[in-house]
């Protein structure tokens, strides 16, 4: 028994407990707009902060106590005021765009809602279906929109060979597992001469996406309810994209083969997947690895298993992804790092 190690581990576990608690409170700070309100304020009392955010003072005061003791906001005990330091603002406010971690922390409450199902699944080996995550689509859409608003047109599309030129002139692009369709709509707006098709098996997401296309007056974008494992089209698209939509598939081989078949002979595929190595040993020093494996256990792996699938997991990683892409027939596979999308690897591949 190494007493120093035991003591250090007690500190680790207390850190886990406080981190979990603060994760929920940061999610609340994001959803209520408290962080955004505080970003524009000088040191203020709980009443002033509650008034600015149009919230109940008693709740705001208790939230501020957690934020202050968690060292997320600064507290002046004499003046009884709180301030969100400028150095912290990017990571917890909407102005931070893809760097806003408070937005991602909404996932903690989402996962907690299915904890009973996941515990049960540990005993049975069964999965937890998408239908058990009613808020997943909206949270995912919010997170990915921040990322793609910043980088899709300027940094990501130019990584695909011929894409800017062909999409400007008029081409066809499909986005598989498109969710609420934000990425596709950004492209449809940027490239009015091209035609865009979004596919997702969530009827709710597809309806939302079609309504949004209508609101934006984008008649070159439409969305269809379809299982990615049954795309069923041949030589139809110049480009196909998937954004975080392969690792949680029940049948990823089948999906990739369908994408390969649906591309035209000179077509290209952009496959965006969570950044990870395929072996746990190589992810040990990744600072977000515990978060990634948790998301996997409680969502990505379990929705795949629920569909009768293999449960690849969020951290299936670069090496396995390269292998799956090659197995599906893709050639010239390259990987790209995107500055505003540090948590993903962007694979670009040719049909032939």
Ligand X SMILES: C[S@@+](CC[C@H](N)C(=O)[O-])C[C@H]1O[C@@H](n2cnc3c(N)ncnc32)[C@H](O)[C@@H]1O
For the CB of residue 222, give the shortest distance to ligand X in the complex, in Å: 16
- Which 247-306 positions form the footprint of ligand X (CB under 6 A)? 248-249
Phi, psi of 127 (to 5 degrees): -100, 180
Residue 178 interacts with ligand X (CB under 6 A)? yes
Each residue 119-148 as x (binds ligand X by CB under 6 A) or -, in order, gives -----------x---------xx--x----
CA atoms within 13 A of residue 172's CA, in its CB half-sphere: 12
Q: Is 202 an interacting residue with respect to ligand X (CB under 6 A)?
A: yes
DSSP bridge pairs for 273: 345
> Given the complex with ligand X, which of 238 and 248 has the nearer CB atom?
248
Q: Which residue's entry shows tokens 């290209």?
A: 268
CA distance 174 to 220: 12
- Reduced to 3 states (helix: H, G, I; strand: E, B; else coil), residue 172 is strand
205 in contact with ligand X (CB under 6 A): yes
In the bound state with ligand X, the residue whose beta carbon lies nearer, of 168 and 230, is 230
Among residues 151, 176, 147, 159, which one has the least CA distance to residue 348?
A: 159
Member of 139, 188, 228, 271 binding ligand X (CB under 6 A): 228
Q: Tokens standing for 330?
A: 């893709």
What's the min distance (Å) between Cβ of 203 and ligand X?
Answer: 10
Q: Which of 151, 245, 271, 349 binds ligand X (CB under 6 A)?
A: 245
The count of residues interacting with ligand X (CB under 6 A) is: 19
Nearer to ligand X, 130 or 191 (CB): 130
Neighbouring residues of 57: CB distance < 8 A, sequence distance ≥ 6: 46, 47, 50, 51
Contacts of 267 (CB under 8 A, 6+ apart): 237, 238, 239, 240, 350, 351
Q: Coil, strand, or helix at residue 39?
A: helix
Whether 316 and 347 have beta carbons less than 8 Å apart is answered as no
To ligand X, the closest distance from the beta carbon of 271 in angstroms equals 11
Candidates 196, 239, 243, 330: give the one binding ligand X (CB under 6 A): 243
Report in angstroms how near the CB of residue 134 gets to ligand X at its nearest.
12
Secondary structure (3-state) at 109: helix
Based on the shown chain and the rule CB under 6 A, indicate whether residue 177 belongs to the binding site for ligand X: yes
> In this chain, which of 227, 257, 282, 310 binds ligand X, going by CB under 6 A?
227
Chosen residue from 98, 186, 197, 244 binding ligand X by CB under 6 A: 244
Torsion of CA 35, 144, 289, 300, to 10 degrees: 120
Q: Which residues bind ligand X (CB under 6 A)?
A: 130, 140-141, 144, 177-179, 200-202, 205, 227-229, 243-245, 248-249
């Amino acid at each position: 028994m190494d007493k120093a190690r035991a003591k250090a581990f007690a500190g680790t576990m207390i850190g886990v407990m406080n981190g979990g608690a603060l994760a929920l409170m940061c999610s609340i700070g994001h959803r209520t707009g408290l962080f955004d309100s505080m970003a524009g304020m000088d040191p203020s009392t709980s009443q002033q902060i509650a008034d600015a955010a149009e919230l109940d003072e008693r709740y705001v005061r208790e939230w501020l106590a957690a934020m202050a003791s968690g060292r997320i906001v600064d507290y002046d005990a004499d003046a009884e005021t709180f301030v969100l330091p400028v150095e912290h603002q990017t990571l917890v406010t909407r102005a931070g765009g893809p760097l806003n971690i408070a937005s991602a922390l909404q996932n903690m409450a989402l996962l907690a809602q299915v904890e009973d199902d996941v515990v049960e699944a540990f005993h049975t080996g069964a999965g937890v279906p998408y239908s058990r995550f009613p808020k997943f689509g909206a949270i995912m859409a919010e997170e990915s929109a921040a990322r793609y608003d910043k980088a899709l047109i300027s940094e990501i599309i130019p990584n695909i060979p011929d894409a800017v030129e062909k999409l400007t002139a008029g081409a066809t692009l499909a986005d598989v597992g498109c969710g609420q369709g934000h990425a596709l709509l950004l492209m449809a707006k940027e490239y009015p001469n091209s035609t865009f098709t979004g596919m997702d098996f969530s009827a709710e997401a597809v309806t939302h996406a079609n309504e949004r296309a209508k609101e934006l007056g984008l008649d070159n974008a439409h969305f269809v309810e379809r299982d990615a494992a049954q795309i069923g089209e041949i030589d139809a698209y110049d480009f196909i994209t998937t954004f975080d939509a392969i690792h949680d598939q029940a049948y990823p081989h089948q999906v990739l083969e369908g994408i390969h078949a649906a591309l035209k002979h000179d077509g290209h595929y952009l496959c965006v997947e969570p950044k990870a190595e395929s072996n746990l040993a190589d992810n040990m020093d990744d600072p977000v690895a515990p978060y990634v494996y948790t998301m996997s256990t409680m969502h990505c792996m379990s929705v795949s298993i629920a569909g009768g699938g293999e449960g690849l997991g969020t951290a299936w990683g670069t090496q396995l992804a390269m292998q799956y892409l090659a197995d599906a027939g893709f050639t010239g596979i390259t990987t790209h790092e995107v500055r505003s999308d540090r948590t993903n690897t962007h694979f670009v591949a040719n049909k032939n």
